Amino acid sequence: MKAASVMDYRTLARRRLPAFLFNYIDGGSFDEVTLKRNRRDLQDLALRQRVLCDVSKIDVATTLFGEAIAIPVVLAPVGLGGMNARRGEIQAARAAQNAGAPFTLSTVSLCSLEEVSAATQRPFWFQLYMLRDKPFMRDMLARARAAGCTTLVFTVDLPTPGVRYRDYRTGLSNAANWSGRLRRTFQSVTHPRWAWDVGVMGRPHRLGNLSAVLGKADGIENYMAWLSDNFDPSVTWKDLEWIRDSWRGTLIIKGVLDPDDARLAADSGADGIVVSNHGGRQLDGALSTAAALPAIADAVGERLTVLADGGVRSGLDVVRMLALGAKSVMIGRAWAYALAGGGEAGVAHVLRIIEAEIRVAMALTGVTRAADIGRDLLA
């Protein structure tokens, strides 16, 4: 199948990935109510079609934290992204670099900070969790600085991991026991293209940023257990002070869904926030990002830069998020699907698709600059 949209790449990803990886990317928590809301609430937003406007020149570029970017899109952190294609984070980072969009490396990536830095020329962003192991966090911040990262995306919505039924069914959540290993092995050998490209040629299958703390037990079978043991449920806003003191670059707080928390993020000295419910992977039944975004943008939009993610599968969705108050939009599943379906070329293609769709949406709503997209675009 020749992919023409993000959802086409989802179809390709489903075909090409073992079930435990596809469902890890695709799934949400519990009954996936919030996952579905993210998509539905965005799609239900009607745009105002305008006519007889001069839209001969469309400018989709914008500025984030003083940096010019070619499109108002950021590649969000995706855990285990490197399992979707051979050394996958490097491929995605290169595609983002060539498209003029920021790339965010996850703490739980296969490729390490140093590996991605050596393979790219443009500074990338780094995502970090609040963990019990503070020396590890300090070390990660130092490594991110040394790798040239300019922006820290600090994820705050995981005091405990969400319950993801799909991961239990496919053998990822109980990854270390014999039953989980057996199911993953069967799923892998029944996808020979992936088994060769990633399973054989994509080694080593270790979490590059965690190798120092996991030692020999640094494979993906230990990923869930280590995270569960190291998330810190006692963290408060006061604990962010040492992050702000330790990180002199741009600081973005990811996982804000309430205006009061957005105000606290602004008070903490953050430069930006990501309005996010973790892609529907944490609290099932929470607000969709589209529903939460306007009130948060109204509350803190003049104090810090507001980004958003959740349910974005097209350039139309990007325009909708911008109209609701985001200055730029993060995409996660969209680039993960594309990486699985087509590698670096797939990610580059998805970014071109999204840019083209943004241009069409802007032209048909009578807006010529992405920076001018506002709530008046919504019917």
Instruction: Specify whether the CB–CB gap between 20 and 167 falls below 8 A.
Output: yes
DSSP 301: T
Domains of the chain in sequence order = 6-371 (3.20.20.70)
How far apart are alpha carbons 116 and 231 in whole angstroms? 25
pLDDT mean over 238-250 = 90
- For 212-356, strand residue ranges (E) read 250-256, 272-275, 305-308, 328-331
Give the containing element (helix H, strand E) for 361: helix 333-365
Burial of 200 (0-12, 13-18, 19+ CB in 10 A): exposed
Q: Which residues contact 291 (CB under 8 A, 6 or more apart)?
A: 37, 41
Q: Which residues contact 55 (CB under 8 A, 6 or more apart)?
A: 362, 363, 366, 367, 368
User: Is the pLDDT reported for residue 37 higher than 60?
Assistant: yes
- Average confidence score pLDDT of the chain: 93
What digits encode the pLDDT tens for the residues 157-169?
988 888 999 988 8
**Distance set, CA 54 to CA 355, 362, 369, 377 (Å):** 19, 11, 12, 16
| Predicted pLDDT at 20 | 93
How far apart are alpha carbons 329 and 295 in whole angstroms? 17
User: Is the pLDDT reported for residue 217 higher than 80?
Assistant: no
Q: For residue 18, is the peptide bond before it cis, meaning its omega torsion is within 30 degrees of 0?
A: no
| Predicted pLDDT at 53 | 96
pLDDT mean over 24-35 = 97
pLDDT mean over 188-199 = 91
Give the containing element (helix H, strand E) for 67: strand 67-69
For a pLDDT cut of 70, what percent of the chain falls above it? 95
| Predicted pLDDT at 215 | 62
How far apart are alpha carbons 295 and 302 in whole angstroms? 13
Q: Which residues are catalytic?
A: 278
